[in-house]
Chains A and B, each alone.
Chain A
Amino acid sequence: MSELEKKTESGSVGAEEDGASGEQKAGGDSGVGMGVLFFIAAFAICFLSGWLLFPSLLYSKKEQPFNFNHALHVAETGSCETCHSFRDDGSFAGIPKNSACIECHESQLGETEDEAIFISEYVEKGVEVPWLIYSKQPDCVFFSHAAHVVGAKMECVTCHGQIGESETLKPYQENRITGYSRDIWGENIWGVKKNSWDRMKMDDCAECHQEETGSKGACFQCHK
């Protein structure tokens, strides 16, 4: 707590206040002390709420329709591309439709509850599974998988992380204001990332573009 105080007091706002309260102290006014105390308290509370409380207010947890075990399926099929493929016209198919799953899962193959839900609620009823998509970008963004995967020969994990090794689908945290997944801004509310797949904001694309192509890219490349 005290470290924080020091940090903030050395910040620009803190410095101003310091100066003011300093003058006041010189005048020997004890009311100022209360002001500083309130300042520090209010500052701490707001700052910490913003850092720690705000995310839990901003994001709601949503459940996927049922669990999908990526690790198991990657072991079976060998790669991401088997299910997450390119269509003949070069567009990316994204999350596979039921028809891709039904190729093997016409009826229950294993013994899990999740597969049972898939068969009974979706395959038999002919309803597409309403997956919540972690990497869904806003409508203003044009992204070509072909340019990056086929053109730049990038690995899926660079942007999407190690989903293929997971046995469960992580919870989908939806931003209440935008409706998009927390995975776009990133887990860290400050926007600080360790791995390339931690965030998918425009700045992250720009960062990689800068490294790989020497420029962050022109607006119209992605915002058509």
Chain B
Amino acid sequence: MKIDRRSFLGLGLGAAAGVTVSPVAWKLTDDSSIWSQNWPWTPVPSDGEVTFDDTVCTLCPGNCGISVRKIDGRAVKIEGKKGYLVNDGGVCLHGISGLQYLYDPSRVPFPMLKNGDSWRQLSWDEAVALLAGKIRELRQKGMADSVACVIGNSSDKGSIAGLYRRFLMSVGSQNFYTADTMDKSWEMLISRMHGLKASAGFDIANSDYLLSFGSSFIEGWGSPVNNFLANSSRKERNAKLVQVEYRLSNTAASADMWIPAKPGTEADLALGICSAMVTASLYNKEFAKNAGKDFDAFAKLVSEKYAPETVSRTTGIDVDQIRTVAAEFANAKAPLAIAGRGKGDSAGSMMEFAAVHALNCLTGNINRTGGFWTVEKPDTLIWPSIEMDDAATKGYARPPLGAVASDSSTGGVFSTVAPSASPYTTSVSKLFETINASEKSPVELMMVYNANPCFTLHNAKAVKDAVNKIPFVVSFSSYMDDTTQMADLVMPSHMFLEMSQDIYSSAGIAQNITSLSKAVVTPVLDTKSPGDIIISIAKAMEGSIAKSFPWKTYAESLQSVTGDQWTPLSEEGYIASEMAPPATPVMADFSIFTGFNGVPSIEGDEKSYSLTLMPIESIRLASGAFASSPFAVKTVEDTVLLKKDTLIEINPETADQVGVSHGDYAMISTPVGEAKVRINIFDGIMPCVVGMVEGLGHSTGAAGEIVTKEGSAISLKVGATGMIGSTGGVSSESGPLENRYIGGKGVNVNELIRPVTDPASGLDAAWGIRARISRV
């Protein structure tokens, strides 16, 4: 018997046969199929106990009630809270993406101090001591008022904003700045025209004729979801929406009538409609007689200067259409005119608001169902007295750097901090202008909370220059945004799901809703509540400052200052006031129109800059302190953002004149700067006007190296679960704290527009700028 080829054949066949009839082959096949389901990149929803925790979203002033769905205590989904006053189960794309802000792998994970090109990790105690020391030094030098604080809230309502204002006051500085939004302009107007300290409320859900002057009614104006709901029910309520806008926005497209008035002529149109109403006696004569002060002068002004024929030439709208709208508006049961360009994020021209609001005064639909409401905001917080030492008193006596010349009757920003509010109206834009205008920055130390001025303010590049000049900048953000990148010290705050705070309705809600935004998750990183941060800084400063902060924790102060409200707030989640008109019927003072000569125009001469650049608001792109989430960026159209380029809207006629086609690269230049963009040919924007979306042009936030406490210089990546050191960051190419989902994409339109001071309010009324486009 020799071992030959047949032996091996037998061996091979035997082995094959043996394996085949053994369990191996069949078991391995079954196992492989299971193995292929277990690959680590396949997302698997977690299993466990489902719980819901309710809170209030604070990404925008809309403040929708939300319900956070959790599995075994880990937040996995945000939904709108059914039945909540503001949004009844609805939520916008930013709210629903809220968890992306929570688990953002590029968040700042702990306090950091800038060290040349890199950052050094500090402990909380070290960071607090450092900042307290710097402020102490300044006060000792008699420079208490060189400490400034910029917060992104539109008012200092709310205990956290109140604590920051209180801190500044006890330090000795009036340089406390809040965001200049339409809320401020409305409040100033109400103070001037109605003599009330109140905010504007719009009972849109009950109005049957909404005349919107450039407000992005369904793209983020006011309380976005509240307005989405009002819009959805329009047809069944037989309510009409008339949109005055220079371009076919989503709101205009959804409206019953689109009035394409030339940009900047909205006030003229409003007064033209007033004129038509007055001439045809289509106004509430009783209201005008009993409540209208100087009404006759106003009637004369609009009849003479703003006749429909005149206005037609200015605005480009047919005389007939003006008269039709006037008649429809006047004859509606509950007509309501609204103003506040775009989302209402900027102050705008107060007289533009006045012109629009005159329509509401003509119909007398004020403090009635479906009308305009003056919502008085009582100071409900109970603050203990502030102690001010010598340095503080001296510092506080000096006026704020960003004080603007304004009508003294408009008063200062409504303050919840007793004693009485500062008599000054301040403009945050003015602050940065002042810093730039001075050789040495008059601000030695700036604190920034819930704001991103290096991105959101007009002339953003100049704001960056100003921030650069400030010797010490502290950011309380846990996102490496455009401003935080320039900071010297970062003391990262919780994001809204990780902290509690009291919220006060604004953004046009017609009643007072106080809500409690609760912490619904344990903090993911080593961040703190901004309330706790400021209290610990105050305590570290000792003396009168520490005495002005008699609470150990923010939780203690929140419960204490909300007083009686704490129980209903913590049990129900919110307190809503009835919509009740004020005790004395509202008067309308038309003398505001005396000597009215038009609203401020935009910068730039027509010869060098033949086009008008307008910023466009989109609900998909957050244009405030928070940048858009990855989910939101994904929804942005190819005609707005293509890969990393911003596209500008341009009418086909104008494109022909300039010599560009759809998709071409082009340079857009304004008196402030220039940028490379791509062309989007769009019939819906009028000739000679180009539109650029707001909310793009964020920097990526690359932070270089971070040296941790252990002393190791590592390229720190915060993993997808938010746990430091875990893998799963954006990509292996990202630096630490880099956000490449929104960062590095597009152009920031605020870098192309400069502020224009409104003579009536002193705030920034720039609504665009002149521009030119050249081929590239």
- The chain A residues found within 8 Å of chain B, CB to CB, are 8, 11, 13-14, 17, 24, 30-51, 54, 58, 87, 89, 91, 93-94, 138-140, 175, 177-180, 185, 189-191, 201
**Binary contact track B23-48/A, C-beta < 8 Å → 1, others 0:** 11101101110110110001010010
* Residues of B contacting A39 in the complex (Cβ-Cβ under 8 angstroms): 10-11, 13-14, 17
* Residues of B contacting A24 in the complex (Cβ-Cβ under 8 angstroms): 6
Q: List 29 A-B contacts (CB under 8 A).
A: A13-B13, A17-B10, A32-B6, A34-B2, A34-B7, A35-B6, A35-B9, A36-B10, A37-B1, A37-B10, A38-B8, A40-B14, A42-B18, A48-B22, A49-B18, A50-B19, A50-B22, A50-B24, A54-B22, A54-B23, A54-B27, A94-B47, A138-B34, A139-B37, A177-B32, A177-B35, A178-B35, A180-B34, A189-B23
Bound-complex Cα distance A179 to B39 (A): 11
* Residues of B contacting A175 in the complex (Cβ-Cβ under 8 angstroms): 31
Bound-complex Cα distance A9 to B480 (A): 74
* Residues of B contacting A37 in the complex (Cβ-Cβ under 8 angstroms): 1, 7, 10
Does A140 lie within 8 Å of B37, measured CB to CB? yes
Nearest A residue to B23, CB-CB: A189
A70 to chain B, nearest CB (A): 23
Flag whether B236 is at the interface (Cβ < 8 A).
no
Flag whether B49 is at the interface (Cβ < 8 A).
yes
Does B18 lie within 8 Å of A44, measured CB to CB? yes
- Give the residue of A35, A36, A177 whose beta carbon is less than 8 angstroms from that of B31: A177
Nearest A residue to B45, CB-CB: A139
B705 to chain A, nearest CB (A): 34
- Give the residue of B2, B17, B28, B37 whose beta carbon is less than 8 angstroms from that of A31: B2
Flag whether B50 is at the interface (Cβ < 8 A).
yes
- Give the residue of A30, A41, A43, A177 whose beta carbon is less than 8 angstroms from that of B34: A177
Residue total for B at the interface (Cβ-Cβ under 8 A) = 38
Most buried by A among B9, B12, B44, B47: B9
* Residues of B contacting A32 in the complex (Cβ-Cβ under 8 angstroms): 6
Most buried by A among B3, B14, B37: B14
Tell me the chain B residues, 678-697 only, with Cβ under 8 Å from chain A. Answer: none
Does A31 lie within 8 Å of B4, measured CB to CB? yes
Does A43 lie within 8 Å of B23, measured CB to CB? no
Does B7 lie within 8 Å of A35, measured CB to CB? yes
* Residues of A contacting B22 in the complex (Cβ-Cβ under 8 angstroms): 46-51, 54
Does B21 lie within 8 Å of A47, measured CB to CB? yes
Flag whether B15 is at the interface (Cβ < 8 A).
yes
* Residues of B contacting A93 in the complex (Cβ-Cβ under 8 angstroms): 49
Bound-complex Cα distance A24 to B15 (A): 21
Bound-complex Cα distance A11 to B12 (A): 17
- Give the residue of A13, A34, A51, A190 whose beta carbon is less than 8 angstroms from that of B1: A34
* Residues of B contacting A17 in the complex (Cβ-Cβ under 8 angstroms): 10, 13
* Residues of B contacting A54 in the complex (Cβ-Cβ under 8 angstroms): 22-24, 27
Bound-complex Cα distance A44 to B18 (A): 6
Bound-complex Cα distance A58 to B27 (A): 10
* Residues of A contacting B3 in the complex (Cβ-Cβ under 8 angstroms): 34
Bound-complex Cα distance A31 to B21 (A): 26
Bound-complex Cα distance A38 to B2 (A): 12
A112 to chain B, nearest CB (A): 29
Bound-complex Cα distance A68 to B9 (A): 54
A213 to chain B, nearest CB (A): 25
B168 to chain A, nearest CB (A): 41
Bound-complex Cα distance A185 to B4 (A): 42
Bound-complex Cα distance A34 to B14 (A): 12
Bound-complex Cα distance A177 to B37 (A): 11
Bound-complex Cα distance A40 to B14 (A): 6
- The chain B residues found within 8 Å of chain A, CB to CB, are 1-4, 6-25, 27-28, 30-32, 34-35, 37-38, 42, 44, 47, 49-50
Bound-complex Cα distance A41 to B17 (A): 11
Does A47 lie within 8 Å of B32, measured CB to CB? no
* Residues of A contacting B32 in the complex (Cβ-Cβ under 8 angstroms): 177
Does B23 lie within 8 Å of A38, measured CB to CB? no
Does A31 lie within 8 Å of B30, measured CB to CB? no
Nearest B residue to A16, CB-CB: B13
Does A42 lie within 8 Å of B14, measured CB to CB? yes
Does B50 lie within 8 Å of A43, measured CB to CB? no
Contacts A40-B14, A48-B18 aside, 20 further interface pairs with beta carbons under 8 A come to A8-B17, A24-B6, A30-B2, A31-B6, A32-B6, A35-B9, A36-B10, A38-B14, A39-B14, A42-B18, A43-B14, A44-B14, A45-B18, A47-B22, A48-B22, A50-B19, A94-B47, A139-B38, A139-B42, A180-B34
7 smallest CB-CB distances across A and B, nearest first, come from A50-B22, A46-B18, A42-B14, A35-B10, A39-B14, A39-B10, A35-B6
* Residues of B contacting A41 in the complex (Cβ-Cβ under 8 angstroms): 11, 14
Bound-complex Cα distance A38 to B38 (A): 40
Most buried by B among A11, A58, A139, A201: A139
* Residues of B contacting A49 in the complex (Cβ-Cβ under 8 angstroms): 18, 22, 24
Does A185 lie within 8 Å of B30, measured CB to CB? yes
Does B18 lie within 8 Å of A190, measured CB to CB? no
Nearest A residue to B42, CB-CB: A139
Does A30 lie within 8 Å of B49, measured CB to CB? no
- Give the residue of A11, A47, A178 whose beta carbon is less than 8 angstroms from that of B38: A178
Bound-complex Cα distance A125 to B289 (A): 76
* Residues of A contacting B28 in the complex (Cβ-Cβ under 8 angstroms): 177
Bound-complex Cα distance A195 to B13 (A): 36
B247 to chain A, nearest CB (A): 45
Does A46 lie within 8 Å of B50, measured CB to CB? no
Does B14 lie within 8 Å of A138, measured CB to CB? no
Bound-complex Cα distance A201 to B27 (A): 12
Bound-complex Cα distance A11 to B16 (A): 14
Nearest B residue to A139, CB-CB: B44
- Give the residue of A11, A35, A45, A140 whose beta carbon is less than 8 angstroms from that of B21: A11
Does A31 lie within 8 Å of B7, measured CB to CB? yes
Most buried by A among B8, B10, B17, B19: B10
Does A178 lie within 8 Å of B18, measured CB to CB? no
B14 to chain A, nearest CB (A): 3
Does B18 lie within 8 Å of A91, measured CB to CB? no
Does B15 lie within 8 Å of A42, measured CB to CB? yes
Does A13 lie within 8 Å of B17, measured CB to CB? yes
* Residues of B contacting A139 in the complex (Cβ-Cβ under 8 angstroms): 37-38, 42, 44
A98 to chain B, nearest CB (A): 12
Bound-complex Cα distance A94 to B72 (A): 13
* Residues of A contacting B21 in the complex (Cβ-Cβ under 8 angstroms): 8, 11, 47
* Residues of A contacting B1 in the complex (Cβ-Cβ under 8 angstroms): 30-31, 33-34, 37
* Residues of B contacting A138 in the complex (Cβ-Cβ under 8 angstroms): 34, 37-38
- Known contacts A30-B1, A50-B18, A185-B30: A42-B23 contact under CB 8 Å: no
Most buried by B among A48, A50, A54: A50
Does B7 lie within 8 Å of A38, measured CB to CB? yes
